[in-house]
Chain A
Amino acid sequence: MDQQISVGVDWTACQGHGLCAELLPEHITLDEWGYPLLDGTPVHRTAVKRARRAAADCPVLALKLKLNTVANTASS
């Protein structure tokens, strides 16, 4: 079974380096302050490798890969 992967940002760590937007432009663009805007859709199979690299290359390790499981909306 295919596991769906999407990207998330640890906003407390992200410094708006923008590297991730260069590596994964189909999912990440930058806002007017230079912070990543995620499109929220699952990463396509063919882009998973690049997504892993974007996460590994983020200078502050703020880009996170998330395995998509059933969303749980508990706030805590």
Chain B
Amino acid sequence: MTASTSTSTTTTTTTSTTTTGAPPRLMPLYGSDNLASHVAMHGAPPYPAAGHLVRLLADAGLRGHGGAGFPVHRKLAYVAEAGRRTGRKPVVVANGAESEPASAKDRTLLLRAPHLVLDGLQLAAAAVGADEAHLAVEAGTGLAAALQNAAAKRARAGLDRLTVEFTEVPRRFLSGESSALAEHLSGRAALPRYPQPPVRERGVGRAPTLVQNVETLAHLALIARYGAAWFRSVGTADEPGSMLCTVHIAGRRPEVVEAPLSAPLRRLLMLGQGDPVQAVLVGGYHGAWIPAAHALGLRLSDADLAPYGAAPGAGVLAALPADRCGLAETARVLRYLALQSAGQCGPCLNGLPRIAAAFTELARPGYPAGVREDIARWAGLVVGRGACHHPDGTVRLVRSALTAFAGEADAHAAGFCRATDQTPLLPLPEGN
């Protein structure tokens, strides 16, 4: 089943339910962008008694869908406690920035099921005792206006306890990082800051701040209604539930699908059907390349992906055809990532551009000796040495590419390239 969306913000994306047999959970195909049908389907948001939602989320085992996969109940419990301890009412931020260029799942969700996200935001705010709620989206997506409209309808229906402030963040990779978001919402530049004290302790306006990805909040809104057992009815005992993925297959439009955790990558990426694939990128531009021969047998789970340094993360998956150059593909992305460095931190400022430049050399046949060694050394020098995880994520991509495309790098060293098709696979914002 495939339903193409007609809205300008997702013209390059189609959505569908997964082919893996599970019922759709986040993205039912009737239009739940309509408040009446949303309430008819799910009812009004069920504001729970204090502490109840945290226990429910712990039982459900919900983890964040912004990339890091942190257990949601722990962050909620921490922020609620920090609010009581400091006497400052917490702030809740729905993170819809989706600054990863290869991801389209958050904006798709915000378009197709905005009321699930807004329910989740209200419920999370109530659970931590917040008196301020924000929803941030990327500038230029047109989402803010649509969401404001949806919020106005909710206000008329009396569904919400807090008025949500909608904010547009600059179109940059770092804008969605939680401390950058908190800085922006505090009236400063949208840049990451030194992570002590953490945002959950001191974020927007110095108040304890809960930042959750919009997809996380949508799952939360469903769990609050249908319970932990329902959530666990797909996935595995260790990694329950479902997640949205943005799937990139050469020659097709990127597709947003909802898949159960532990779905086979083979099925999500249609590996072994059609054109041969040499490697799979899992987790986006802070993720890892896995050779196709291995990826064929892996599932969308931490357990399967961790040995490859990868994780389901925010659900970006891309299949690189056999006739493309993985080094060239990675070099393009690295040049973009280096430009996205906020340039605040010495190792990141010095290291990422050098890594990107060296990788660009590596992507050309006949590159000079020592390039691979330089990349490996600089990777070691930037990892863990920044205010945010941008260097760490970039190095994850670099190291996985050096392993997955070692054969191609050998070929380039010997002066030839095996790729016959130069068409780029991975999307970058215009101008990159």
Q: Which residue numbers of A lie inside 8 Å of B, CB to CB?
A: 8-16, 31-35, 37, 64, 66, 72-76
User: Using Cβ atoms and an 8 Å threshold, which residues of chain A touch B178?
Assistant: 75-76
Chain A residues touching B, majority SS: loop
* A12 in contact with B387 (CB, 8 Å): yes
User: Using Cβ atoms and an 8 Å threshold, which residues of chain B touch A76?
Assistant: 68, 70, 75, 178-179, 198-200, 211
What are 7 A-B pairs with beta-carbon distances under 8 A?
Answer: A11-B387, A12-B193, A33-B347, A33-B351, A74-B75, A74-B200, A76-B75
* A11 in contact with B346 (CB, 8 Å): yes
* B78 in contact with A10 (CB, 8 Å): no
Chain B residues touching A, majority SS: loop
User: Using Cβ atoms and an 8 Å threshold, which residues of chain B touch A66?
Assistant: 196
Alpha-carbon gap, A13 to B386, bound state (A): 11
Besides A12-B387, A66-B196, A76-B70, 10 other CB < 8 A contacts?
Answer: A10-B387, A11-B348, A11-B386, A16-B346, A33-B351, A33-B381, A73-B70, A75-B70, A76-B198, A76-B199
**Lowest 7 CB-CB distances: which A-B pairs, in order?**
A76-B178, A11-B345, A10-B194, A35-B346, A12-B344, A33-B350, A75-B68
Interface centre among A14, A15, A16, A73 (most CB of B within 10 A): A14
B88 at the interface (CB under 8 A from A): no
Alpha-carbon gap, A16 to B347, bound state (A): 10
A64-B346 contact, Cβ under 8 Å, with A76-B75, A76-B211:
no
User: Using Cβ atoms and an 8 Å threshold, which residues of chain A touch B335?
Assistant: none
Least Cβ distance of A4 to chain B in Å?
A: 16
User: Using Cβ atoms and an 8 Å threshold, which residues of chain A touch B25?
Assistant: none
Residue of B70, B196, B200, B344 near A64 (CB, 8 A) is B196
User: Using Cβ atoms and an 8 Å threshold, which residues of chain B touch A9?
Assistant: 385
Alpha-carbon gap, A8 to B385, bound state (A): 10
User: Using Cβ atoms and an 8 Å threshold, which residues of chain B touch A14?
Assistant: 345-346
Contact with A along B394-429 (1 / 0, CB 8 A): 000000000000000000000000000000000000
A15-B346 contact, Cβ under 8 Å, with A10-B194, A74-B70, A75-B70:
yes
Residue of B68, B194, B211, B350 near A12 (CB, 8 A) is B194
Alpha-carbon gap, A4 to B26, bound state (A): 46
Nearest to A40 among chain B residues (CB) is B384
Least Cβ distance of B356 to chain A in Å?
A: 16
User: Using Cβ atoms and an 8 Å threshold, which residues of chain B touch A15?
Assistant: 346
User: Using Cβ atoms and an 8 Å threshold, which residues of chain B touch A10?
Assistant: 194, 387
Least Cβ distance of A6 to chain B in Å?
A: 12
Alpha-carbon gap, A50 to B400, bound state (A): 40
Alpha-carbon gap, A76 to B179, bound state (A): 7
B389 at the interface (CB under 8 A from A): yes
User: Using Cβ atoms and an 8 Å threshold, which residues of chain A touch B75?
Assistant: 74, 76
User: Using Cβ atoms and an 8 Å threshold, which residues of chain B touch A34?
Assistant: 346
